[in-house]
A and B are shown apart, each in its own frame.
Chain A
Amino acid sequence: GAGVSQSPSNKVTEKGKDVELRCDPISGHTALYWYRQSLGQGLEFLIYFQGNSAPDKSGLPSDRFSAERTGGSVSTLTIQRTQQEDSAVYLCASTLDRGRSGELFFGEGSRLTVL
């Protein structure tokens, strides 16, 4: 498709399990962002990729969170040993423009529920 694609759209898991969330950005978009949206918390920045490198991973909440991007395209966000406080909607966005005026294109998100 032409937009940012995220999978799974919904994931229910048990506390302590690992989960992987996938983001397929718009073709040709060099910059990719992960955000977390929790009720009442707005959009929390997690990590930013430019190509395959991550110049800013300052938002990852703990060492249980990691992300990678391969081939300058698909990105995977991995959460190990999930906790209930990890429950949220995880949003991915991409942009062609590394400059300051670029529009972010968002996927519809992956809703994670940790029981």
Chain B
Amino acid sequence: GNSVTQMEGPVTLSEEAFLTINCTYTATGYPSLFWYVQYPGEGLQLLLKATKADDKGSNKGFEATYRKETTSFHLEKGSVQVSDSAVYFCALNSGGYQKVTFGIGTKLQVIP
């Protein structure tokens, strides 16, 4: 079955530091890959996505590249801000009558 593995965290960074949150996956077929973000006290919302190999998703300064050869979709940001403090979830969707599979979530705390 499908699965998503991501670092558990928490990750604590100083403001303006470089961020990487690793995500690897196991899936049948050609899934789409997603990063969702959950800010404190809010529901999950889509941050970015990529639907095929070598696609790069980007939003709000965050980027992730769909790497089929390494089955990875690592999230990166060059300079984090305090407002980026949240829980980040990697997810995949194989489509059809398939559930969307989420990773365990990585809590990011950015300190001034």
**B97→A56 contact, CB < 8 A:** yes
Chain A, interface size category, equals 20 to 34
| A75-115 Cβ-contact flags toward B at 8 Å (1 or 0) | 00000000000000001010000111111101111000000
Q: Please give me the 8 A-B residue pairs with the lowest Cβ-Cβ distance, nearest first.
A: A100-B95, A42-B104, A43-B102, A55-B97, A106-B44, A106-B43, A108-B43, A100-B32
A1 to B58, CA, bound (A): 28
Number of B residues, CB within 8 Å of A: 26
User: DSSP majority for the A interface?
Assistant: loop
Contacts from B to A (Cβ < 8 Å): 30-32, 34, 36, 42-46, 49, 51, 89, 93-105
Contacts from A to B (Cβ < 8 Å): 4, 33, 35, 40-43, 45, 48, 50, 55-56, 58-59, 91, 93, 98-104, 106-109
